Amino acid sequence: MFRGEEVLEGRFRFLHCEKTFEGPCRWKNPEFSYLWDFNLHYFEYLSALEELLRVPDHTGGLSNFRATPETGGTKTEKPQVSSLKPQVSKARRRIQDLMDQWIAANPCPAQPGWHPYPISLRAINWIKFFVAHPEFAERPRLESLYAQMLFLEGNLEGHLQANHLLENGRALLFGGLFFEGRDAERWLAKGLSLLKREIQEQYLPNGGHFERSPMYHCILLEGLLDTCVYLESSGRGSEWLQSALEKMCAWTEAIRCPDGTFPLFNDAALGISADPDEVIGNAERMIAYRRRKAAESVRNCDAFYVLDAGAFFCAVDGAPIGPSYNPGHAHSDNFTYELFFRGKRLVADAGTFSYDPGPSRQLFRSTRAHNTVLVNDLEQSEVWGGFRVARRSNPHLSRAGESGGLLVFQGAYRNQAAPALGIVHERLLVACPDRWVLVWDTVEGRGDILAENNIYLGPGWSLSETGGYWQVRHADNANLFFQVAGADHVERATGEHAPEFGKSVPVPRIILRRRGKGGVEMGYLFSVEVFPGPLDLRVSRTAEGVELCLPGFERRIRFEDLHA
C-alpha cells in the first residue's frame, strides 16, 4: 500500500489523492476529505519505513518489551547512525521526525488526531514499532503515547460501537501489555473485557463481521491476528480468541472471489485492507490456521451466498443491511450480486467512492447503483447523509442450495420505505455450472408498478447487440451472451464503478424496465451458448418449488433443497 521511498520524500497518497510536504507534515488538510487526514494520522506507513531500516536485530515480531514513561523506554543501546547505510539513516530520521512532528503539532484534544479512532490505530502502530525497535521508544514519545491511551480510555466510541469500539478495545489491550503500572493494568483489563464482549456481539454464526462489509472483515481480522500474537508473546492466554479467529478465517476463504479479491458489497473497496489470500497466509503463519481442502459449491457466508458453478462464480447479498443501531456502512442493495466468468468480474457491484456526504456518496449507496431492482423509483432502504439509514427493508426470505443439479439463491423483501404500496420483490438466481446464470425477478404491489432492473458489467467488458441477444466480450477474449425475457424496454447506458476509494471508472450498464398493474416479472440470462430467437423462458411457481423451462432444458427447483 505504501512505498517507503515515497514517505521518505514527504509524499503521501491515500484514497487516490496525493500530497507532498516540502517541510513538516501538515496534519489537517482541508483540500482533502476527513478520511484522508484520518489515514495520515493512523501512521500505517510506519511499516513501509520499517522495511528500509534493516536493523540486524529486528525480529519483526511482538516481544515482551515493556515500558514506562518514567524510564524513558528501553535499556537497549542505540545503534550508531553513522554506521548504517544512508537510506537506513534517512529512514531512521524520517520516523523520528514524523513522530516528533505529530506530538508537537497535535496538542490534546486537537482534531482529527485526538479522535478516538485514529488514536486507536496510531497507538497500535506505534506500540508494534516500539516493540520491534525499542531504541525509538524515547521518553517524549512514550509520554505522548501514554497520554493518548489515557484520553482514549475516557473517550471510547460507545455511541458508534461496531468496528470503532472493537479497535478502541484492541488499543487498550495493546497499551496495557506495553506499559506497566496501575493504568496499564486497568487498560489491559478493560481491553480484554471489551474485546471479548464485542467479538461475541459483532461476529455472526459463520464468522462474518456484522457490518456486512468484506473489507472491514479483512481489516478487523488482520488486527485480531496481531492481537492474538501479542497476547501469546506476552504470556497471556488467547484460547478465547483462537476459536473465533478460526471461524473468521474460514469465512474469508469461503467469500474469496476467483481473482483473489472479495465482493464489493456495502462499504467495501480494494486497496484498503489486505486481500483474502494475504490475510489467510498471515493466519497460517501466526496462528497455524489450516486452509480448507475443498469448498462446497453453495456457501452461506452469513447470508452472503456463494454459488461456485465452474466457469461462473456468483456472490449474492441476501443479508440484512447491518446492525440495527449502526447501519452506517450499509447500502440500499437487497439481492445485489457480483458475477465472475472464468476468473473475471463480469457483473460488478457499485463499490465505494467516498465517505463524504454529498451526491456521490448518495449515488453509490443507492438502489439504482446496484445490480438489483428499483421499484416505482423507491429506495429499498432510505440511506441518507454519509452514514445514515432511515426506514430499512431487510429480507424476510434469504436461502440457497443445490437442487436438480442447479445452484440456486432465493430471496424476498417487503419495501418499508412506502409500506402502503405493499411492494414485495422476490429474486431467484440460478446457476447451471459452466453453462449459464439466470436472474429472475418478481415484483408485486398495489396499483401501477414500474420495475427497473440494473446490471453493471465489470471493467474490461464490452456489449454489442446482435439480433435478439447481446454479445458480451472481455478484452482478454472471454465471450458469452446476454438475453432478456419479459422486459418492455432494454437500454444500454454507461454506469460508474468504484473499485477503490477515490477511483471511479465508466462501465457498461444495462437497464431493463417493465410496467404492470399489481405486479410484473422479468429476467435475464448470461450463457456460454446463445438460445435461438427471442428467449423463450418460463418460470412457474408451485407450492413445492419452481418449474424452470428454457429451450431444450426443463428442471424443477425444490424449495426444500434451499436453506438459510
Q: What angle is formed at CA 273 by the lines to CA 271 and CA 275, rounded to 5 degrees?
A: 80
Query: Pairing state of beta strands 344-347 and 406-414?
Result: unpaired
User: Do both 155 and 228 map to the same domain?
Assistant: no
Last residue of a domain, one of 179, 200, 221: 200
Q: What angle is formed at CA 75 by the lines to CA 71 and CA 81, rounded to 5 degrees?
A: 115
Secondary structure of residue 549 in the 3-state scheme: strand
Q: Which of 211, 220, 171, 226 is nearest to 194 (CA)?
A: 171
User: Do both 230 and 156 map to the same domain?
Assistant: no
User: Do both 29 and 120 map to the same domain?
Assistant: yes
| Cα→Cα distances 137→41, 183, 257, 522, Å | 18, 19, 41, 64
Last residue of a domain, one of 170, 200, 230: 200
pLDDT reported for residue 188: 98
Q: Which single residue is written with the C-alpha cell 482529527?
A: 112
Number of domain units in the chain = 3
Last residue of a domain, one of 295, 311, 343: 295
**Any residues with CB less than 8 A from the CB of 564 and at least 6 apart, and which?**
300, 303, 398, 399
Q: What angle is formed at CA 295 by the lines to CA 293 and CA 296, rounded to 5 degrees?
A: 145
CATH number for 183? 1.50.10.100
pLDDT reported for residue 69: 52
Is residue 314 a contact partner of residue 306, using CB atoms and an 8 Å limit?
yes
pLDDT reported for residue 207: 98
The C-alpha cell at 471 is 454479445
User: Do both 362 and 437 map to the same domain?
Assistant: yes
Is residue 531 a contact partner of residue 44, using CB atoms and an 8 Å limit?
no
Strand order through the sheet with 545-550: 538-541, 545-550, 553-558
What is the extent of the structural domain holding 255?
A: 203-295
| Cα→Cα distances 504→15, 241, 346, 361, 408, Å | 11, 38, 17, 12, 32
Q: What is the model's pTM?
A: 0.94
User: Do both 327 and 440 map to the same domain?
Assistant: yes
User: Do both 189 and 326 map to the same domain?
Assistant: no
User: Do both 313 and 425 map to the same domain?
Assistant: yes
Q: Is there a cis peptide before residue 109, judged by omega within 30 degrees of 0?
A: yes
Q: Is there a cis peptide before residue 320, judged by omega within 30 degrees of 0?
A: no
User: Do both 44 and 176 map to the same domain?
Assistant: yes
Write out pLDDT tens, residues 159-169: 999 999 999 99
* Residue numbers of the chain with a pLDDT score lower than 50: 55-61, 63, 71-83
User: Do both 289 and 339 map to the same domain?
Assistant: no
User: Do both 87 and 232 map to the same domain?
Assistant: no
Q: Which of 340, 327, 338, 439 is nearest to 380 (CA)?
A: 327
Where would I find the H helices in 320-456?
Answer: 359-365
User: Do both 169 and 251 map to the same domain?
Assistant: no
| Bridge partners (DSSP) listed for residue 397 | 412
**Any residues with CB less than 8 A from the CB of 474 and at least 6 apart, and which?**
341, 344, 346, 460, 461, 462
pLDDT reported for residue 82: 46
User: Do both 212 and 188 map to the same domain?
Assistant: no
CATH number for 536? 2.70.98.70
